[in-house]
Structure 1
Amino acid sequence: MNRRAIWLAVALVVLLLGGASIYLYLKARPYQAVVDHGPSPAAQANPYLAAEMFLRERGITVSHAEGLSVLPGIDPRQHTLLLFGDRSKMTPRQVDQVLNWARAGGRLVFVAESLWDEKAGQSNDLLLDRVQLHQMLSQDLKDPPADPTDDPYPNLTKLYLEDEDAPAYAGFDTAFHLEDPKNLAQAWANSGKATHMMQLAYGVGTITVVTDADLWKTAAIAEHDNAWLLWYLSADTAVTLLFNTEHEGLWTLLWRYFPQAIIALLALVGLGFWHVGVRHGPVQLPAPAGRRQLLEHLRASADFILRHNGQHTLLHALQQDVLRRARRRHPGFDQLNVAEQWLALSRLTRQPTRAISQALSPVSKQRLSSAEFSRQVAHLQTLRNAL
C-alpha cells in the first residue's frame, strides 16, 4: 500500500469518528436520576433513628444506653427511660433498680413482653408483674357491646385528652391487650376491642406500659399520631433509649467482617492435620483369616535359612540330628572312633557303611547342585527316620 492510500484510509477513519461524535452530541440529552441505596448504616443499626431525630427537632435531648448499668448516673427528675429492648434476662435486682429510679421521679416507658399465665399466677416478665398489670391476647376477650357511635377506626388506638374534642390515634398492634386487675392505671388508650397503653403513678414518677413499640420504629413513626404520642410521653424531659441489649459475640463479628480470612485459616489448619496424619509407605493389607499348615511354616523356615545361611547349614543340622539320635540308641557312641560309629549306625539303620560315610562326611563350603543337595538331604533323612 502506497503512502497516498494510507492517508486516504486515515482521513476516512477520522471522518467517520467525527460524524459519529456529532450524531451522539445532537441526540444525547443530560438527565438527573435519583438512586435509592436503601437505609443508611446508622438507620440499619438503629430502628428508632427517625424517632430520635423527631424528638431532637423538638428540643429533647436523646441518648443511647446499652444496659441498665448507666441508670445510677441518670437523674430521675425530668428524665424519661424508654425500655424498648429485650428484657428476658432481666434480674430481680435490676427490676428493683428500675422501679426505684421511677419511684424517685423518673418517667419509665416499657413494652410488655409476656402473656399472663392464669395457672401459674405470673408471667415471664418480672417488670410487668411488679407493676401488677397483665397482658393477654385480644382474641381471648369477649366481644364488646355494640358501639352506638359506630367507631370509624376500630383498629387504631385512641387516646383522649382533656380539653380536646378529637382523640389522638396510634397504630399499636391490636393482637395484645393490657389488663388492670387492681385498678391502678390513671390513663389508658384503647382500640375498638382492647387496651394497648396504660399509665400509672409510681411514687413521684410515672410508669407507662405499652403492648408494642413497633409504631415508633422508622417504618411507622410517620403514620397517624405515632410520633406525637412519643413526644407526649417524654415532653419536657431528657430521653435515654435502651433498645439493643443483645450484643453479637466475637466469632459472629469475625465471620461477618473477615470471612475470607477465617476460611483461609481453617483451610490451613486442615492442611496441617493432613500433613501430620499422612501415611508413609503403602497401606498394610489385613492378615488373611485362614491359618497356614505346619508343613508350610517348616518349608518357609527352611527356605529362609537356605537363602541366608547356605546349604551347608541345613546339611550340618541334619548330620547333628542323626548323631544325637544315635547317642540315645547306642550308649557310649561318643567313645567310638569314626569307623566304629559308622558300623554302629549301619547295624542300627540297616544301611550300608558306604552310604553312611557319604551322608556323614564333612559338608563342603562349595554350593552343590540341586540334585546333589536333594540326594544328600534324602540320605540324612533316611538315617534319621531309621533311628
Structure 2
Amino acid sequence: MNRVGQWLIGLVLVLVVAAAGLYIARHLHPYDEVIDHGPSPEARGNPWLAAQIFLRHRDLKVDTVNGLESLAQLPPQGHSLLLLGDRQTVSARQTEALLAWVRAGGRLLFVAQALWNEDKAMSGDLLLDRLQLHQFMAKDLPPLPEDQPDKYPQLTRLYLENEAAPAYFSFDPDFHLEDPANKAQSWANSSNATHLMQLKYGEGLITVVTDADLWTTPAIGRYDNAWLLWYLNQGTDVSLVWRPDRDSLATLLWRHYPQALVSLALLLALGVWHLAVRHGPLQAPPALARRQLREHLRATAAFLLRNAGQATLLRGLQQDILRRARRRHPGFERLAVAEQWQVLSRLTRQPTAAIGQALRPPLKQRLGAAEFSRQVAHLQTLRNAL
C-alpha cells in the first residue's frame, strides 16, 4: 500500500472516531446519584436522635443522661425530664426522689409501662401507682356512642384554645389511660381511648403518655408528633433519659450471646444429670391395661386447660354454639349481635341477658374453679339446647 492509501485509511478512521464521539456526546447526559447507606451508627444506637435534633432546632437545650443518679444536679425550675425508656429497674427510693424533684418545680414526661390489675389493686408501675393513674387495653373498654363519624379514629386529637382544628398524633391506639381520682387538668384522646394526661404536681407538671414511639425515627415526622414534643417542653432545658439504669452484665450477655448461654446451661444440666446418683431401683411404669377411659378424658381435659387456658376453652364452646345456631337459623351470621341473642333466646328458651353473659369475650384473668365450672355448664346447656 502506498503512502496516499495509508493517509486515506487514517483519515477515514479519524472521521469514524470523530462521528462516534459526537454521537456519544449528544446522547450522554450527566446526572447525580444518591446512594443511601442507611442510618448512621449514632442513629442506630439512639432512637430519639431525630427528636433531640428537632428540639435543638427549636432553640431548646437538650442533653442525654444514662440514669437518674444525676437528678440531684438538675435544677427543677425551667427543666424538663423525659423518661422514655424501660423503668423496671427504677427503685421506690428513686421514684420518690423523682417526684420530689417535680414537686419543686420540674417537668416530667414518662411512659406508662404496666396495665392496672383489679385483683391486686396495683399495676406494678411505681410512678403510675403513686399518681393513682390506671392503664388498660383499649379493646377491653366498652364502645362509646358515635355522635358523628370520625375521619381519623386511630389518631389522637388535642384541642387548643383559639384553634379551629385539633392537632393529630399517632399514639398506639391499643392502650388507654384513666384518672379515677380526677387529678388530670388536660388530656388527649383518640376515638375511644385516652393516650395523654397532664396534671400539676406541687410546683411542677407531670405528663403521662401511653407510648413514646411517635417520637422515634421516622415516626416523629408524621402528623403533629414533633410539634407535640416541642409543645410539652417549650421554654425549658430538656434532659432525655432513655436508659434509666445501665444494663447489668447478665443482661448484656443474654442480649448479645443468647445461644452461647443456652448451650452452657444445657451442658451444665447434662453434667449434673450424668453425675447424679440414683437412690434405689427405677420404678416401673404402670400397666396399660389398668387405664380406663375416664382417666384418659380427665388427663386430656387437664392438658388442654393447662396449655390452652380457660379463655381458649370457653371461646371454643362459644364458637360451637354459634355454628349450631347458623345451622338452625339460616342467615344467623348476618344478624346484629342483639338480634343473634334474641334468636338464641328463642331457640334455647333462655333469657337474652343470660345469652349475652354467656357469649361475652372471656376475661384475661384466670377464673376460680367454681366460676369456670359454672360458665362451662351454662355454655354446655345452651349448646345442648341447639
What TM-score bracket applies, with the shorter chain setting the length?
Answer: 0.5 to 0.7
SS of corresponding position for 1:108 = strand
Name the aligned partner's letter for residue 242 of structure 1: V
Correspondence for 1:188: 187
Correspondence for 2:289: none
SS of corresponding position for 1:147 = coil
CA shift in 2, pair 1:74/1:251, >3 Å: closer
Q: Distance in 1 between the 2:23 and 2:206 partners?
A: 72
| CA displacement at 1:244 relative to structure 2 | 2.7
Name the aligned partner's letter for residue 179 of structure 1: E
Counterpart check, 1:93 vs 2:93: yes
Name the aligned partner's letter for residue 115 of structure 2: L
Correspondence for 1:132: 132
Identity score, percent: 52
CA shift in 2, pair 1:238/1:251, >3 Å: closer
Q: Distance in 2 between the 1:228 and 1:162 partners?
A: 16
Counterpart check, 1:73 vs 2:65: no
CA shift in 2, pair 1:197/1:42, >3 Å: same
Correspondence for 2:281: none
CA shift in 2, pair 1:32/1:51, >3 Å: same
Q: Distance in 2 between the 1:161 and 1:225 partners?
A: 13
Q: Distance in 2 between the 1:251 and 1:106 partners?
A: 32
Correspondence for 1:41: 41
| CA displacement at 1:163 relative to structure 2 | 2.3
Q: How does 1:25-174 map to 2 (within 5 A)?
A: 28-144=28-144, 146-174=145-173
CA shift in 2, pair 1:92/1:248, >3 Å: closer
Counterpart check, 1:216 vs 2:212: no
- Point out where structure 2 has 5 or more consecutive residues left out of the alignment: 1-9, 257-386
Q: Distance in 2 between the 1:150 and 1:37 partners?
A: 44
Name the aligned partner's letter for residue 40 of structure 1: S
Correspondence for 2:201: 202
The superposition leaves residues 341-371 of structure 1 with CA deviations (integer Å, 9 ceiling, x where unpaired) of xxxxxxxxxxxxxxxxxxxxxxxxxxxxxxx
SS of corresponding position for 1:136 = strand
The superposition leaves residues 15-48 of structure 1 with CA deviations (integer Å, 9 ceiling, x where unpaired) of 9999998987776543211111111122111111
Name the aligned partner's letter for residue 200 of structure 1: L
Q: TM-score, normalised by structure 1?
A: 0.58
The superposition leaves residues 173-205 of structure 1 with CA deviations (integer Å, 9 ceiling, x where unpaired) of 010000111111111111000000111110010
SS of corresponding position for 1:55 = helix
Q: Distance in 1 between the 2:120 and 2:35 partners?
A: 55
Q: Distance in 2 between the 1:252 and 1:172 partners?
A: 30
Q: Distance in 1 between the 2:65 and 2:252 partners?
A: 22
The superposition leaves residues 204-226 of structure 1 with CA deviations (integer Å, 9 ceiling, x where unpaired) of 10111000000111111111111
CA shift in 2, pair 1:250/1:194, >3 Å: closer
| CA displacement at 1:116 relative to structure 2 | 0.7
CA shift in 2, pair 1:26/1:228, >3 Å: closer
Q: TM-score, normalised by structure 2?
A: 0.58
The superposition leaves residues 69-122 of structure 1 with CA deviations (integer Å, 9 ceiling, x where unpaired) of 111000010111000011011100110111000000001000000101110111
State the Cα RMSD in Å. 3.1
- Point out where structure 1 has 5 or more consecutive residues left out of the alignment: 1-10, 257-387
Please identify the structure whose Cα radius of gyration is greater.
1
> How many residues are matched?
249
